[in-house]
Structure 1
Amino acid sequence: MTKTRTNYYQDLSADYSTPVRVSAAVAQQMIDAAELFLTVKQDELPQIDDQYSLEQIEAENKAWWPTHCEALRQSRDEILSAEYHKNLVYFCQDGPFYGLEEQKNREQQWWALLAQPGVTMSWPIVMFHGEYVWFEWACIDDHTHETTAKGSVAWIRRGHRGGCHWKGEQLTFYRDVFAPDNLLTP
């Protein structure tokens, strides 16, 4: 049996599957939505129950996804950091990291490299299942079209109320390992 190929963005508010920028208006809508979603995040991880179902969490994760992509493209680390739950567990080749402080310096380096001028990040595949979000990403040089970095990531995100409480990531950087100072200063 051959499975039909899927456009992973067909039911989402914006398409970040290619290294093509969305319009300025859509980009601003995504940032505004990201900031709004962060206002409902609770200090404690909410329970999954009749009041907050996996179906609602999955719908919230689908609404959140394009906002996350735009925040990364704009290197909005204050939004990206706030997407995590305070008890984050983060597995990656430099980890594991626990909480919100251990990975902060490393992720600031990564985010600066991913969003550097002349490079556009895209997420060709994203899948959702309840509180699980899995995706692949790639950064493409706008001029040479070379892949500068790529990876695959799994998030366990308890919707807008809980944020990401577990993340597993495989990253590969093909050029640049540390961001130059001019990419790190606001």
Structure 2
Amino acid sequence: MKNRTNYYQDLAADYSRPGLVAESLQSDFIALALKINEMQEESPPVIGDDYTMSQIEQENKEWWPTHCEALRQGRGDILTGEYRQDLVYFCQDGPYYGIAEQKVREQHWWALIAQPGVTMTWPIVMFHGEYVWFEWNCIDDHTNEILAKGSVAWARRGHRGGCHFKGEQLTFYRDVFSSPELLQLITRS
């Protein structure tokens, strides 16, 4: 029988279940997320001797907990900052080209998955160079029902390049558009 994998064994924090991330780390990850977003260059960096695929993969692993924490805290400003201006985003409501096209739709998704009383988790995350693939789900803290789930593939060229491609399958079991009250909780960018 094949051994099971702990996808978080080499990462700074474990977001596979609720309650695993120390409160003291949460603000550190938000601060790091803001710093990482500032590192994004105007043009995607060239992969080569000065910026290797190995370095990009390591930066993606460093970035991962900041992404999870930004979603848990409803930080739409940070989430938008992770994308390149020329983002290509494939999903069932897409395709979207550039960060302006998907912004109106995606804010509803963020509002639903980051709403009070719901915890988003990422049970599986895998890295290969500039590719990050993960599964996520949102659990109602009171009823334990799954509100939504999905799987996502990112092409992220480390801190200097940001995310230039995102492919996502989302399934919402409860709600499809968020209420105006939930939209107000998502940080505007």
Post-superposition CA distance 1:18-76 (Å, at most 9, x none): 12262221100110110111111101111111100000000000000000000000010
| Unmatched runs of 5 consecutive residues or more in structure 1 | none
Aligned partner of 1:82 in structure 2 is 81
Please give the TM-score of this superposition, normalised by the length of structure 1: 0.97
Q: Distance in 2 between matches of 1:100 and 1:174?
A: 26
Please give the TM-score of this superposition, normalised by the length of structure 2: 0.96
Q: Aligned runs of 1:105-116 on 2, under 5 Å? A: 105-116=104-115
Please tell me the root mean square deviation across aligned C-alpha atoms, in Å: 0.9
Task: Return the offset for 1:3.
Answer: 2.8
Aligned partner of 2:137 in structure 1 is 138
Paired residues in the alignment total 185
Q: Distance in 2 between matches of 1:5 and 1:23?
A: 25
Instruction: Report if aligned partners of 2:14, 2:20 keep a CA contact under 8 Å in 1.
Output: no
Aligned partner of 2:49 in structure 1 is 50
Task: Return the offset for 1:185.
Answer: 1.4
| Unmatched runs of 5 consecutive residues or more in structure 2 | none
Q: Distance in 2 between matches of 1:24 and 1:18?
A: 14
For residue 84 of structure 2, give the secondary structure of its aligned residue in structure 1: strand
Instruction: Report if aligned partners of 1:20, 1:120 keep a CA contact under 8 Å in 2.
Output: no
What letter is aligned with 1:175?
Answer: R
What letter is aligned with 2:15?
Answer: Y
Q: Aligned runs of 1:129-168 on 2, under 5 Å? A: 129-168=128-167
Instruction: Report if aligned partners of 2:108, 2:177 keep a CA contact under 8 Å in 1.
Output: yes
CA separation of 1:21 and 1:113: change in aligned 2, threshold 3 A: farther
Aligned partner of 1:31 in structure 2 is 30
Q: Distance in 2 between matches of 1:100 and 1:172?
A: 22
Instruction: Report if aligned partners of 1:125, 1:137 keep a CA contact under 8 Å in 2.
Output: yes
Instruction: Report if aligned partners of 1:88, 1:166 keep a CA contact under 8 Å in 2.
Output: yes
Task: Return the offset for 1:136.
Answer: 0.1
Aligned partner of 2:3 in structure 1 is 4
